[in-house]
Structure 1
Amino acid sequence: MKALRVIAAVMDYPREELWSHCGELLEAARHAELPDARRAQLVAFLTSLLDRDVIDAQERWLEVFDRGRAMSLLLFEHIHGESRDRGQAMVDLIDTYRRNGEELATRELPDYLPVVLEHLSRRSDGEVRDWLGHIGHILELLAARAHQRGSAYAVLFEMLAELGQGHVDLDLMRRRVEREVPDDTPEAMDRVWEEEMVRFADETTATCAPSPSHGVPEPSTVARPA
């Protein structure tokens, strides 16, 4: 599905290669399997992105996706948080890719949304709707948060939510997001950093020596792509 490949490319961190393939991307966007209005929005988003300087586009991306966790493109961040279930979910997702003859050729984690979209771009329309419908609540949440922050990326999440669920009414989700405490302010990011440092210190202390009652600690269950 051309639409998913284009959305995956423009939602990912903008690297210089994107500008090298601008003609191909624009052609694919013009023929994306989307309603006319959405196709026009995709072309407009891509044109606006490619009209920017690479550094400017990268800074813009970081402002949206690298400040706090609310806009994380790691899907399991929104489902499992830091629980151990996230590790098993990673393993299961990698197995799904492998069963379809795919290996991760990237350092990104398997639940990174552009990676998931790249995988889905080679699957049937039914599978695409099933997958995107399953994560529809996350896509709607990201669309609402991006909209609240005035980010043009909001339209991409809206497109994905609609591909999975048809017409989507985001008013309820936007009202919910309005009540959230922002996590992208300097103060909020400082608090997260301090909490992570405390947790890291606790974990280091806890695992420096074997437990006297259980011997060597069990290895982490979090899967990392090769």
Structure 2
Amino acid sequence: MSGSVTPWIPVAWQVQSLLLAYPEDGFPEHTRLARRAAGALPEAAAAPLLRFLDHAGATPLTALAADYVAVFDHRKRCCPFLTYYAHGDTRKRGVALLRLKQTYARAGLRLTDDELPDHLAVVLEFAAQHPEAGRKLLLDHRAGLELLRLALRDAEAPWAHVLDSVSATLPPLRGNEREAVARLAAEGPPEEEVGLAPFTPPQFMPDAVGGRR
């Protein structure tokens, strides 16, 4: 999977984006669309999506929404904001967020005021529309993606299945990427240097976890 993006992958990214968003009133319709789309995906990407969809279908929407908040808002290791893993609460994260917004703007994607550009659901939505550029973003944040997948699995959160599907759209981890995941798991994201005020506005900091509602 080292060459160009194959046609089924953007479909998978769109489905994954829908399922990683906060489960609002329209979520049941999203799950119906996702189940239909999963039928056209390879087993490695489809099977974990179907496991999540089975869980979502058997869970009342209010309970699923409460679980979403408990997992993504209250477990810092399950942060869905990808730049947090690379930059933590530092001013470098503010620069990374700005660059993401500029990338989206050049491609014609405009975010609403309550959408953070590094939320995984937003990145996947962009990737579905702009596969080559989106694939690069996902690979740039591969260590954070893998750490999030492992954290969700440790938490026994159903969204771990969606992350398993995301991983199936990307090449296997290489040696240096495995080392980056291990290092990130051991050390955590970077911390702000002494004397430097946060660069990014408060609404873009990971304490606002949950975003994309």
Which TM class, normalised by the smaller chain length? 0.7 to 0.9
**Structure-1 separation of matches of 2:86 and 2:187:** 17
Q: Does 1:29 align with 2:7?
A: no
Is contact 1:132-1:165 (8 Å) kept?
A: no
Query: Once structures 1 and 2 are overlaid, which stretch shifts more, 132-141 or 94-103?
Result: 132-141
Picking from 41, 57, 81, the partner of 2:64 is 57
Aligned length: 185
1:144-183 residue CA offsets vs partner (Å, 9 max, x unmatched): 1111122222222232233222368999868x95x799xx
Provide TM-score, normalisation by structure 1.
0.70
Q: How does 1:88-167 map to 2 (within 5 A)?
A: 88-105=95-112, 107-124=114-131, 126-166=132-172
**Structure-1 separation of matches of 2:168 and 2:137:** 12
**Structure-2 separation of matches of 1:121 and 1:146:** 23
Instruction: Quote the RMSD (CA, aligned, Å).
Output: 3.2
Q: How does 1:62-81 map to 2 (within 5 A)?
A: 62-81=69-88
Runs of at least 5 residues in structure 2 that lack an aligned partner in the other structure: 1-9, 189-196, 205-213
What stretches of structure 1 move > 4 A for 4+ residues in a row? 167-174
Picking from 9, 12, 24, the partner of 1:3 is 12
Q: Which has the greater radius of gyration?
A: 1
Tell me which amino acid in the other structure corresponds to 2:139.
G
Residue number in structure 1 paired with 2:200: 222
**Structure-2 separation of matches of 1:46 and 1:65:** 18
The SS at the match of 2:115 is coil
Cα gap change, 1:166/1:104 in structure 2, threshold over 3 Å: closer, same or farther?
A: same
1:54-112 residue CA offsets vs partner (Å, 9 max, x unmatched): 11101111221111321111112212111111111111111100110111135121111
Residue number in structure 2 paired with 1:45: 52
Residue number in structure 2 paired with 1:195: none
Is contact 2:100-2:118 (8 Å) kept?
A: yes
**Structure-1 separation of matches of 2:82 and 2:156:** 22
Runs of at least 5 residues in structure 1 that lack an aligned partner in the other structure: 182-217
Cα gap change, 1:42/1:21 in structure 2, threshold over 3 Å: closer, same or farther?
A: closer
